[in-house]
């Protein structure tokens, strides 16, 4: 398990590079990501840059949250990209890398993501609702974008109560 980076760490603002080698080191990194994700309250997703690793990898598991949902279960996505999105919906978001804040953010209601699995095989997954929100949030991290960059109004940004 590794420590999750928090603002103002500059690595959170950098764009990640594609994964080219699918080996035991990749599997170990993803295992570390899953363990690190679970260390925070309501951790349902984590991107490699949040651990200081600038590679295009995201882990999502909405069954672990404070309000669990099954959807697609645990998703281990390497080189993910959104290939379809539709609808818009507002919702509250928080982040392990911005631990003291929550905000209302607009996201697509439905997404389809193409990614590679741990062996490098191409996969696609469709997601809706909360799972779609989490996927979009994590994929933003791969481009150095944080949820606070998507806040509609500064009045929507609220300090989380301890």
CATH classification at residue 64? 3.90.45.10
Tally the domains of the chain.
Answer: 1
Identify the burial level of 122 via C-beta atoms within 10 angstroms of its C-beta, where 0-12 means exposed, 13-18 middle and 19 or more buried.
exposed
Residue 19 located in a structural domain: yes
Residue 56 located in a structural domain: yes
Q: What one-character DSSP code corresponds to residue 138?
A: H
pLDDT attached to residue 161:
64
pLDDT attached to residue 138:
98
Residue 75 located in a structural domain: yes
SS3 content of the chain, % helix, strand, coil (to 5): 30, 35, 40
pLDDT attached to residue 162:
55
pLDDT attached to residue 38:
82
Q: Is 138 in the active site?
A: yes
Q: pLDDT 10s digit of each residue in the chain, 162 long?
A: 788 999 999 999 999 999 999 999 999 999 999 999 887 667 899 999 999 999 999 999 988 766 667 788 899 999 999 999 999 999 999 999 998 899 999 999 999 999 999 999 999 999 999 999 999 999 999 999 999 999 987 777 788 765
Q: Left if phi > 0, otherwise alpha if psi is -120 to 50, otherwise beta: which for 17? A: beta
Q: Of 81, 124, 131, 138, which is the active-site residue?
A: 138
What does the alpha-carbon distance between residue 42 and residue 65 come to, in Å, rounded to a whole number?
5
Residue 147 located in a structural domain: yes
Q: What one-character DSSP code corresponds to residue 16?
A: P
Residue 88 located in a structural domain: yes
Residue 4 located in a structural domain: no
Residue 3 located in a structural domain: no
- Domain that residue 31 falls in: 10-159
Residue 59 located in a structural domain: yes
């Amino acid at each position: 398990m590794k420590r999750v980076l928090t603002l103002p760490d500059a690595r959170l603002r950098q764009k990640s590079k594609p994964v080219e080698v699918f080996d035991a080191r990749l599997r170990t990194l993803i295992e570390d990501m899953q363990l690190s994700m679970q260390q925070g309250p309501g951790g349902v997703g984590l991107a490699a840059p949040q651990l200081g690793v600038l590679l295009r990898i995201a882990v999502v598991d909405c069954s672990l949250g404070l309000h669990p949902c099954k959807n697609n279960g645990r998703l281990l996505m390497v080189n993910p990209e959104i290939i379809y999105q539709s609808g818009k919906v507002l919702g509250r978001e928080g982040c392990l890398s911005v631990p003291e804040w929550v905000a209302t953010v607009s996201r697509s209601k439905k997404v389809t993501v193409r990614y590679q699995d741990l062996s490098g095989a191409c996969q696609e997954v469709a997601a809706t609702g909360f799972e779609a929100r989490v996927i979009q949030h994590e994929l933003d991290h791969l481009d150095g974008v944080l949820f606070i960059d998507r806040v509609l109004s500064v009045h929507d940004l609220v300090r989380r109560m301890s």
